[in-house]
Chains A and B, each alone.
Chain A
């Protein structure tokens, strides 16, 4: 099995920073913490000024917000990669999408009717839009994508798992082009659930800080165009980054006795081993959650010797915790960082949670991005994905 190269040739992003790559770059150049949303009454990474009509030409009688964001992400990705609907059909592009909470707004609307009016008076149109795979399947219909089709409902690693799967299929020669990403949307109901679980902070989140007390919820869709390197070169595509390696591992509650049993440690180790290189920068999954940040801190500390000269950051204060979109969003951000040559600071960090301190970029330091970036994604149930990216070779 001869390994082939996978390159990123397009990024479609819609998030708290706005729509498109320029909005993302601007947020990375001038990082600012999320402000409190008036409706949710806490800092949140909501997508604002969003109009689905800018991204879709066909008629749609109904679309959940998650699906709407995905249409935007997909449209922006193809535009960025200079690919038409016909191009992706001809390339038999695979479609890989991840979502932690899927079309939960539609699930709730349908359920509300069921409780209020009874089962014979629910709205039939809502139910087919309530499936986790509704979003990916609507995208397949819209773009005529009859190829590989996988919807990951793997919590926080959903979108990262989509990228990892596409990467695996491209490098092993089973696919030449993939559209891979993640999406999740925020609703008052979701925020109420997160609050009931005491997961969110009412202040700007403080990743890796000793006084962290939860994350800021966010929403986003990010879709990447991944292509086999040679094929991308032949069509004259502009390569934004090489995907060098990826790792996927998991751990279980109460059963982690050493760093080597830590899922993030093993995911990072696997990404570094498969990529055959070390990163210059790291975009952490840390979001201000007491447990997640500590687990990631331990994992990075245990690998620190193998990542000399590393500059690390968390971008969660900028975009919020976007669940299934986390991995793809951080991959997109890392690619822009490599392109711009900067690592934005981890905002709101005053005192690191442990010693010796990790090389986390502070608000006063200027850190060079270098040539390679490692991106972590984590699900609080114990699964981790790590992806190693390089500047295009």
Chain B
């Protein structure tokens, strides 16, 4: 059974549509600004990829209080329209997130703590499934509905899980993607993880000093190929294979020499039925932390051998930031657009080569490249890894 992508939607600090997002990351425009949604004067870190130009689509009905739900509903709307899935009520919904509605649920927790500024009415936001219910409700989608949570591998995992439902014969079309929003809770936690940079994300650069977190949603329409063809849907790409695994090593540190990342890329290649030399671009996890970029580089070398040096690699986190639960799905969308347009967006802020990161990174400006097969890597806290492999539809 073959799985294809027929629609995409993005809400991001680089733009609240696929087109504006793609233009921004290809131009390598940095998206970071001082957080304005909540007071940050007490925080160690104050700059993030906050979305400031978001407009709630009024045809979705009243906006939910929770920002994360708003982002994913708006991104789903773009993907549903793009794929022309409205009216296909057997469609499933698979979303993934790190923090779900904890932003709104914080008001419930404040209420439970007896604070006057609390609001007990936001309790239902504690269950992450509510965002999928909201998305499904808009189009009366009645297929399989799941929310999974695998830290920063979430967005990519939603796509893999959607494909699994299709492979198991449980759905023929699924709206799948990741989402997350900035909130005081998440920001306080991410600040103490000691993985953040104060000024810029510099993936693979010698002087990289951390990532910067962003918010938003990336949503894809994933379908069984014959179903998509029969209804005349536009096909962007085929999801050729994927892998999901765990390092089983440490809650926050990457596995030694990227063992888990290497294993998940191998699993994806095996699932796709292709060899390492077939991959001609990697959209890296590339967080810009000291440890991720070197272990990811080691993992790529371990899997691809000599071919590793011939694979152009990029990290759009350099300009876009790390969109948490949305990162993997937004990077999957960037991968699909690379297949479509033959353009690899740049890894910006690259100045000082790191001898330990010595592969072909697409630095500072976008590169034209004839990409047939792309692999997108994601990883997250707890040691979760996911790799997706896409093949351009017209190849």
Q: How far is the CA of A383 from the CA of B192 in the complex (A)?
A: 36
**With known contacts A137-B384, A255-B140, A153–B128 Cβ distance under 8 A:** yes
**Interface contact A100-B109, CB-CB below 8 Å:** no
**Interface contact A104-B43, CB-CB below 8 Å:** no
**Interface contact A250-B251, CB-CB below 8 Å:** no
Stretch with Cβ within 8 A of A (4 or more), from B74-82, B115-123, B276-284, B329-337: B115-123
For B139, give the chain A residue with the smallest CB separation.
A252
136-163 of chain A: CB within 8 A of chain B: 136-138, 140-141, 143-158, 161
Instruction: Tell me if B44 is interfacial: C-beta within 8 Å of chain A.
Output: yes
**Interface contact B142-A119, CB-CB below 8 Å:** no
- Write out the residue numbers on chain B whose beta carbons fall within 8 Å of the beta carbon of A141: 248-251, 383
A150 CB to nearest B CB, Å: 6
Instruction: Tell me if A341 is interfacial: C-beta within 8 Å of chain B.
Output: no
**Interface contact A108-B136, CB-CB below 8 Å:** no
Q: How far is the CA of A119 from the CA of B129 in the complex (A)?
A: 28
Stretch with Cβ within 8 A of A (4 or more), from B164-172, B292-300, B311-319, B364-372: B164-172
- Write out the residue numbers on chain B whose beta carbons fall within 8 Å of the beta carbon of A108: 109, 112-113
- Write out the residue numbers on chain B whose beta carbons fall within 8 Å of the beta carbon of A110: 185, 188-189
Instruction: Tell me if A72 is interfacial: C-beta within 8 Å of chain B.
Output: no
- Write out the residue numbers on chain A whose beta carbons fall within 8 Å of the beta carbon of B109: 107-108, 111-112, 189
- Write out the residue numbers on chain A whose beta carbons fall within 8 Å of the beta carbon of B191: 119
- Write out the residue numbers on chain A whose beta carbons fall within 8 Å of the beta carbon of B258: none
**Interface contact B148-A140, CB-CB below 8 Å:** no
- Write out the residue numbers on chain A whose beta carbons fall within 8 Å of the beta carbon of B124: 197
**Interface contact A101-B126, CB-CB below 8 Å:** yes
- Tell which of B43, B141, B151, B161 touches A119, judged by Cβ atoms closer than 8 Å: B43
- Tell which of B126, B164, B190, B384 touches A133, judged by Cβ atoms closer than 8 Å: B384
- Write out the residue numbers on chain B whose beta carbons fall within 8 Å of the beta carbon of A153: 97, 100, 127-129, 147-149
Interface magnitude class on chain B = 35 or more
Instruction: Tell me if B230 is interfacial: C-beta within 8 Å of chain A.
Output: no
Give the size of the chain A interface in residues (CB under 8 angstroms): 74
Instruction: Tell me if B48 is interfacial: C-beta within 8 Å of chain A.
Output: no
Instruction: Tell me if B208 is interfacial: C-beta within 8 Å of chain A.
Output: no
Instruction: Tell me if A392 is interfacial: C-beta within 8 Å of chain B.
Output: no
Instruction: Tell me if B392 is interfacial: C-beta within 8 Å of chain A.
Output: no
* B303-330 interface bits toward A, Cβ cutoff 8 Å, 1 = contact, 0 = none: 0000000000000000000000000000
A35 CB to nearest B CB, Å: 25
- Write out the residue numbers on chain B whose beta carbons fall within 8 Å of the beta carbon of A145: 246, 248
A46 CB to nearest B CB, Å: 18
Instruction: Tell me if B228 is interfacial: C-beta within 8 Å of chain A.
Output: no
Seed contacts A137-B381, A154-B147, A190-B126; 20 additional CB < 8 Å A-B pairs: A101-B127, A102-B149, A108-B112, A111-B106, A118-B42, A119-B44, A119-B188, A127-B189, A133-B150, A140-B383, A141-B248, A148-B244, A151-B148, A156-B129, A192-B120, A196-B108, A250-B144, A252-B137, A263-B142, A383-B145
